[in-house]
Structure 1
Amino acid sequence: MTGRLSWALAAAVALGSAGASAQEVATYSAPTGLEVTVGLGFQAGVGHVYKNGMRLNQTIGDVKLSDAANGAVPFVAELGYRVTPNWFIGAYGSYTHIITKENPYSCFEGWECAASQLRFGPQVQYHFSPTASFDPFVGMGFGMVILRNENSGPVQTQAGTGNLKLKSSTRGPEFVNLTLGGKWRLGHSLSFGPFLTATFGRYTTRSGDTTLTLPSPLPTTTTPLGYADDGTYGAFMLGVRGSWNI
């Protein structure tokens, strides 16, 4: 009798453990609820910052993304909700450090030049295999882009050597962004994998000023930036990202 009772207890424990393990797998394999993602990558772009505007060398013309940058490093973040295991709805945002380069239109040789970009907006993702160890997905969104520049350095004037400082903020709509990626499961709620994002947008509003500081006692003058036509562009981001399901 005691032997039979021991076997019955062992079987009950085994079934209970198996049921708990199955429940744990099912809980992970069907992720829903709040999801947070962070990532890092490299960005390159084609197109224009603006067209037919006054450039730093006092000529009227275009400034391309390739004129002023050697690429960029985006830090990306997403926050949203997995309404089903397949569908994610939320918002994206990124801060991008732009790797500036010397050029005759916006950053003279020997100048200090800094630029950054902000992107944000809503997005939706579809996950093809949320129960698999690797889950490929596709995402789409739209939003707003803000590009900030601050360049400064010495210039020669009739009154002597002065310092010219240019500050600008250029913004516009990001009409669409498309993301392809995938996630490897690292644990119950963590995943990690690569992504590729392509964006298409237009810089439509440009504001800012230039400040010329001359040797004392000459005055310092500030002049607003002139008009420029819109700049249409495309950008590509390749990187890695990690997600946490809460």
Structure 2
Amino acid sequence: MTARPFIPSLVMSLSLLAAPALAQEASSGSGLALGVRGAYGIPVGDAAEGMSLSETFGNTVAPQVDLSYFFNRHLSLGGYFQYGIAKPDGCTDTTECSSRVLRFGVDLDYHFAPEGFVSPWLGVGVGYEMGSLKVGNDPTLAKLGLKGFDLGHAHFGVDLQLTRSIAVGPYISASLGQYSDLSAQVFEEPERSIDIPSDQKSLHVWIQPGVRLQIRL
């Protein structure tokens, strides 16, 4: 056999040997995914002793973005950021007020049937929460802020796999939190911050039904 036909034959043979390994790597499902969510937050419990969470912040309209890494097509770990906008239940038609609730943290999710058109998934996570309330306008503006840990949350959803890279579907989440820091500013006085005493801390829950769009990058 001459050198001229031998070299193309060798290249073709090596390509055939490498093809199964490349296919296996492509089908492993590992990689990044971007998620965009819209949720409706329902508060339950107290922000602190004697301070209703619904009257302090109210129900939220809460868009969220998250970035996850899939170790395989089933398991992913990622971070999220949520910005909730609300009007407290305690506000009246004659009182101008607004509130914001920011949440960020990490999630670990498991997808049960990633190859199917209908793919249920379940996740858990932890994070941090920051809420703020503004009442009135300058120069009669009062501000209240609360910060604390999201001690743990769980969410469950069902994805409709539109393509191999794009999925959309409903989900619901529930988180358990506790505020530990409180800040307040009345009119033009300096802002004051305190640690909430242990005997005045309360547990609260956010229940959030919503819809998520996830794109595999």
TM-score range, shorter chain: 0.7 to 0.9
Structure-2 residue corresponding to 1:143: 127
DSSP 3-state at the match of 2:164: coil
Structure-2 residue corresponding to 1:235: 206
% same residue: 23
Q: How does 1:41-190 map to 2 (within 5 A)?
A: 41-51=39-49, 62-101=50-89, 103=90, 107=91, 110-152=94-136, 164-190=140-166
- Match of 2:210, as an amino acid? G
- Match of 2:102, as an amino acid? L
Q: Which runs of 5 or more residues in structure 1 are unaligned?
A: 1-22, 52-61, 155-162, 213-220
Tell me: CA distance 1:209–1:69, structure 2 relative to 1, closer, same or farther (3 Å): closer
| Post-superposition CA distance 1:67-95 (Å, at most 9, x none) | 34541111122101111111001112211
Q: Under a length normalisation based on structure 1, what TM-score does the superposition of the two structures give?
A: 0.71
Contact in 2 for aligned 1:74/1:95 (Cα 8 Å)? yes
Tell me: CA distance 1:67–1:84, structure 2 relative to 1, closer, same or farther (3 Å): same
| Post-superposition CA distance 1:14-73 (Å, at most 9, x none) | xxxxxxxxx7xx96x76320001001021101111222xxxxxxxxxx110233454111
* 221-230 vs 142-151, greater mean Cα deviation: 221-230
Give the whole-Å Cα distance in 1 for the aligned partners of 2:165 and 2:101.
Answer: 31
DSSP 3-state at the match of 1:188: coil
Contact in 1 for aligned 2:55/2:88 (Cα 8 Å)? no
| Post-superposition CA distance 1:153-183 (Å, at most 9, x none) | 69xxxxxxxx632112210010001000011
DSSP 3-state at the match of 2:116: coil
Structure-1 residue corresponding to 2:173: 197
Q: How does 1:30-41 map to 2 (within 5 A)?
A: 31-41=29-39
| Post-superposition CA distance 1:82-131 (Å, at most 9, x none) | 11111001112211112323x3xxx4661211101111111100110011
Aligned length: 191
Tell me: CA distance 1:223–1:144, structure 2 relative to 1, closer, same or farther (3 Å): closer
Tell me: CA distance 1:223–1:45, structure 2 relative to 1, closer, same or farther (3 Å): closer
Contact in 2 for aligned 1:204/1:231 (Cα 8 Å)? no
Tell me: CA distance 1:95–1:122, structure 2 relative to 1, closer, same or farther (3 Å): same
Tell me: CA distance 1:142–1:227, structure 2 relative to 1, closer, same or farther (3 Å): closer
Contact in 1 for aligned 2:57/2:133 (Cα 8 Å)? no
DSSP 3-state at the match of 1:100: coil
The alignment's C-alpha RMSD in Å is: 2.4
Structure-2 residue corresponding to 1:5: none
| Post-superposition CA distance 1:156-212 (Å, at most 9, x none) | xxxxxxx63211221001000100001111123111000100000101100121116
- Match of 1:238, as an amino acid? P
Larger Rg: 1
Q: Which runs of 5 or more residues in structure 2 are unaligned?
A: 1-22
